[in-house]
Amino acid sequence: MNATATQPSDPVAPRPSDTPLLELLRTEPAMGIGELAGGLGVTATAVRQRLDRLMQAGFVERSTIPKPRGRPSHEYSLTATGQRTGGNNFHDLAMVLWSEVRGVKESSIRRGLLQRIGTAMAGMYRHEITGSTSQERLESVATLFRRRQLVCSVDSTRDGTGLPVLTTHSCPYPELAEKDRGICAAERAMIQDLVGTRVQLSECRLDGASCCRFTASPTVAAGLPEKTRDP
């Protein structure tokens, strides 16, 4: 039996219409086209179209079963990535964990946790950041943010310094930020780590600004992390 699955260049979430098929595949180790079509009450053609899309996205894999006579048959099963699409309680978990972080009474320990959270988040994306100047690296961060469905842009300050500025018009953690602006410190720490130079949160929506602006030093100077302030 040979299993094949197409690895996506950029993983994407399955469509809502794919949920019944994915849930059906959780009930059995592997299923054929006929079984899937019968279980879903749709045509075999419709099942194949969904399976092709889910294989391309890396959620489903196909196994070939040789037969002594005639054409080999195929069975489909969830990949490890597909298995992880079953539930999503990340929002509740994030709120609880953040509450625990903010419950740490010692301010120095709390600041250290915020810095470590920012650094850990940066570690998830550092390999995607390119550029040799802070302007170029901020542009790369902006590209990363846009893939996260965040509206943002990079330009220069108009105060004569010409420092590069990342402007974000939507918050990646709106509910957390409303409860505690410490998440802003962690986000700044992440951006600073990715850019490789000092970054200041020069404007913030929580202070009444229309957007959040992160202003970076003009040149990349690795090894100059600025201590995260505890708001």
Residue 139, pLDDT score: 94
Distance (Å, whole) CA 165 – CA 138: 8
The boundaries of every CATH 3.30.1380 domain in the chain are 90-216
Q: What is the pLDDT of residues 166-206, one digit of tens each?
A: 999 888 888 788 777 888 888 999 999 999 999 999 999 88
Question: How far lies 46's CA from each of 22, 127, 198, in Å?
Answer: 14, 38, 53
Kindly state the tokens that stand for 209: 């600004």
Residue 102: CA count within 13 A, CB half-sphere: 16
Distance (Å, whole) CA 173 – CA 192: 18
7 vs 164, residue with greater confidence: 164
The boundaries of every CATH 1.10.10.10 domain in the chain are 2-83
Task: Tell me the pTM.
Answer: 0.57
What CATH code would you report for 2-83?
A: 1.10.10.10
pLDDT-derived band of residue 222, with 50, 70 and 90 as boundaries? Answer: very low
Average pLDDT, the chain: 83
Percent of the chain residues past pLDDT 70, beyond the cut: 85
Look at domain 90-216 and name its CATH class. Answer: alpha beta
Question: How far lies 199's CA from each of 126, 214, 230, in Å?
Answer: 16, 6, 15
Distance (Å, whole) CA 42 – CA 34: 10
- Under a CB-based contact definition with an 8 Å cutoff, are residues 215 and 202 in contact? yes
